[in-house]
Amino acid sequence: MNTVNKKKVITRFPPSPTGGFHVGSARTALFNYLFTKQNNGIMYLRFEDTDKERSKKEYETDITNALSWLDIDYHGPFRQSERGQIYAQYINKLIEDGLAYVSDERGEGGKEIGENVRDSVIRFKNPNKKVTFDDLIRGEISSDTTDLGDFVIAKSIDEPLYHLAVVIDDHEMEVTHIIRGDDHISNTARQILIQEAIGASRPIYAHIPMILGPDKSKLSKRHGAKGVMEYKEEGILPVAMINYLAMLGWNPGTEQEFFTVEELISAFDISVVQKAGAIFSNEKLLWVNKHHISKMEREDFIENVEKYIQTEIKNLPQYSKDRLLKMADTLKERISSFGEITIMSKEGDLEFYFEAPEYFVQSLIWHSKKLDENHKHTETEAIKNLEEHIKFAIENLEKIDEKNFNSNDVKNTLWDYAEKEGRGEVLWPIRFALSGRDKSPDPFTLAEILGKEETLSRLNKALDKILKT
Residue-range definition of the domain harbouring residue 371: 361-467
In total, the chain counts a number of residues equal to 469
The answer on 433 and 347 residing in a single domain is no
Q: pLDDT by residue for the chain (469 residues), tens digit each? A: 554 555 799 999 999 999 999 999 999 999 999 999 999 999 999 999 988 889 999 999 999 999 999 999 999 999 999 999 999 999 999 999 999 999 998 765 555 555 556 789 999 999 999 999 999 999 999 999 999 999 999 999 999 999 999 999 999 999 999 999 999 999 999 999 999 999 999 999 999 999 998 888 888 767 767 899 999 999 999 999 999 999 999 999 999 999 999 999 999 999 999 999 999 999 999 999 999 999 999 999 999 999 999 999 999 999 999 999 999 999 999 999 999 999 999 999 999 999 999 999 999 998 754 445 554 557 778 889 999 999 999 999 999 999 989 999 999 999 999 999 999 999 999 999 999 999 999 999 999 999 999 999 999 999 999 999 8
Residues paired with residue 363 on neighbouring β-strands, in sequence order: none
Query: By the 8 A CB rule, do 33 and 72 touch?
Result: yes
Dist. CA 466–CA 219, nearest whole Å: 58
Residue 202 domain flag: no
The runs of H, that is alpha helices, within 108-237 are: 162-172, 185-198, 228-233
Gap between the Cα atoms of 205 and 195, Å rounded? 14
Q: Do residue 278 and residue 303 come from a single domain?
A: no
For the chain, how many structural domains are there in total? 3
Contacts for 422 with CB less than 8 Å, ≥ 6 apart: 366
Non-local CB neighbours of 290 within 8 Å, separated by 6+ positions? 335, 336, 337
Question: Are both 71 and 214 inside the same structural domain?
Answer: yes
Give yes or no: residues 379 and 343 share one domain.
no
Coil, strand or helix at 455: helix
CATH number for the domain harbouring residue 367? 1.10.10.350
Q: How far is CA 353 from the centre of its chain?
A: 29
Pairing of strands 10-13, 42-47: parallel
Reported pTM: 0.90
Q: 460 and 405: one domain?
A: yes
Q: Is 111 annotated as a binding residue?
A: no
Do 404 and 376 belong to one domain? yes
433 found inside a domain: yes
DSSP-assigned letter for residue 42? E
Region of 422 please: left (phi>0), alpha (psi -120 to 50) or beta: left
Residue 16 lies in a domain: yes
Burial of 367 (0-12, 13-18, 19+ CB in 10 A): exposed
Question: Which amino acid type is present at position 463?
Answer: L
| 225, 246: one domain | yes
Q: Is residue 264 part of a domain?
A: yes
Closest by CA position to 272, among listed 134, 139, 133: 139
Beta carbons within 8 Å of 102's beta carbon, 6+ residues apart: 95, 120, 121, 122
Residue 37 φ/ψ, nearest 5 degrees: -65, -45
